[in-house]
Amino acid sequence: MDSNILVKEIAKVLDEKKAIDIVAIKTEEVTIVSDYFIIASGTSNTHAKSLVDDVEYEIKERFGIDPEHIEGRATGWILLDYGTILVHVFTAEDREYYNLERLWADAGTVDLSDVITED
């Protein structure tokens, strides 16, 4: 499956489930770790866990794809590893603390305006 399509589908699921400040960063030019990072916030630990569960379920249902690895379910920073795409879901406090957008500022972003609704 095309990674860019999967990025937009994951962002769409996060948006449907009321994630906050969804950002997709194109990292393929700056790291070998992944091609994309998707970063989003939940309003609480419970919301963040629910967002991860929903992404995992919906992507499996729509495309038959499971994450290769999941890290941090018991923390304020949960990572879903889809190989070329890493999905980071934070609580607001943890997102501010780790500030991945600043760390990867040299990477370009993906336009998600076609999948993100404006509330």
DSSP string across 5-39:
HHHHHHHHHHHHTT-EEEEEEE-TTT-SS-SEEEE
What are the structural domain ranges in the chain?
3-109
| Domain at 3-109, CATH class | alpha beta
Percentage of residues in the chain with pLDDT exceeding 70? Answer: 98
Q: Inform me whether the pLDDT recorded for 65 exceeds 70.
A: yes
Cα distance between residue 59 and residue 66, in whole Å: 7
- Between the alpha carbon of residue 100 and those of residues 33, 64, 74, 104, the distances in Å are 14, 29, 20, 6
pLDDT tens sequence across 68-110: 999 998 888 999 999 999 999 999 999 999 999 998 888 999 9
Overall pTM > 0.85: yes
pLDDT at 56: 97
The mean pLDDT value for 4-25 works out to: 96
Q: What is the DSSP letter of 66?
A: -
